[in-house]
Amino acid sequence: MPAAHDVDMGRSKLIVAIALIVIAVLAAYREFRARRYTEALLNEWLSRNCAIGERGALERELQRYGSRLEPRLEQAFVNGPPADLRTQWLRIEQREQKEVVAAIDAGRTHGLSADAIAKLRIRSLVAPSDAVLNDRVEAYRSAALAGLGVIGDARAREFLRKVQSDPDQRGYSDAAEHSLGRAAPRK
């Protein structure tokens, strides 16, 4: 028969083990929630195209989760939008083009000249290529740089400086410079 203090030791170890497991589960859950939240934050930032009435709320959240978001924003700029997003955008463009052709064929011109309508119809009959996504890609990548400007810590500033001076990113050097201006070290 075990001595009383052996039983107490066994119970203590069990309690400690359970406590450790609970702490680990809670930490994992917290991490899961934080990841999910920052993912949603990232997506919202990259797809947002108007900020009326927000009073900088999203920017404050970006700064709060800056260290988690920085690598994702850097990736977003370097790689551009992921393949599934491009596919979704192409599908949208395709549908819009079909709707334009249908509207023109139904006789609607919405004030455009016959020449403009004819050209619009021809453009809308061409299967959408990646070229029609240029604006969306530019918007996405410039949003990534702007996000880094909002976070504005040393790592973000370093990345923006690299983009600014990279001859391969000449189209974005101006955007990087502007974001750097925003990312000036806070007093």
Partner 1 sequence: MRISGVSSSWVTVGCIMLLLAGAALALESITLQRPVGNTSSSADYGVLLFGRTAVHRYGPGPTPINIQSSDTPLTSVVAFAAGLAPIIGTRTPGTGATLTFNPPLVIPLKIWTLCVNQNCNGPFTDQFKEKLETFLFKANEFLERERTGLVLGKAGTPGSDEWISNQTANIPKRDQFKHFTTREDADDCAADRLGVLTDQMKDAGALNMYLVGRVDGEAGRGESCLEPDISVIGAAALWHTMLHEVGHNLGLLHVDGRQIRHYVPSENLMHKASSERRFVSEGQTFLINFDSQSALKRVFSNLLPAPRPFRDCTNSQVECPPLTTWIWDDQN
Q: Which residues bind partner 1 (CB under 8 A)?
A: 43-44, 47-54, 56, 88-89, 92, 96, 99-100, 103, 108, 110-113, 116, 119-120, 123, 134-136, 138-140, 142-143, 145-146, 149, 171, 174-175, 178-179, 182
Least separation in angstroms between residue 29's CB and partner 1 is 24
**7/144 Cα distance (integer angstroms):** 59
What end-to-end distance do the CA atoms of the chain give, in Å? 69
Residues with Cβ within 8 Å of 66's Cβ and at least 6 positions away in sequence, in order, are 151, 152, 153, 156
Nearer to partner 1, 22 or 51 (CB): 51
Nearer to partner 1, 52 or 154 (CB): 52
Least separation in angstroms between residue 181's CB and partner 1 is 9
CA-atom Rg of the chain in angstroms: 26
Nearer to partner 1, 1 or 50 (CB): 50
Least separation in angstroms between residue 15's CB and partner 1 is 44
Least separation in angstroms between residue 27's CB and partner 1 is 30
User: Residues 120-154, buried b or exposed e (16+ Cβ, 10 A)?
Assistant: beeebeeebeeebbeebeebbbbbbbbbbbbbbee
Which tokens go with 111?
A: 């004030």
Nearer to partner 1, 8 or 96 (CB): 96
Residues with Cβ within 8 Å of 166's Cβ and at least 6 positions away in sequence, in order, are 173
**66/147 Cα distance (integer angstroms):** 9
Least separation in angstroms between residue 18's CB and partner 1 is 39
Nearer to partner 1, 132 or 155 (CB): 132
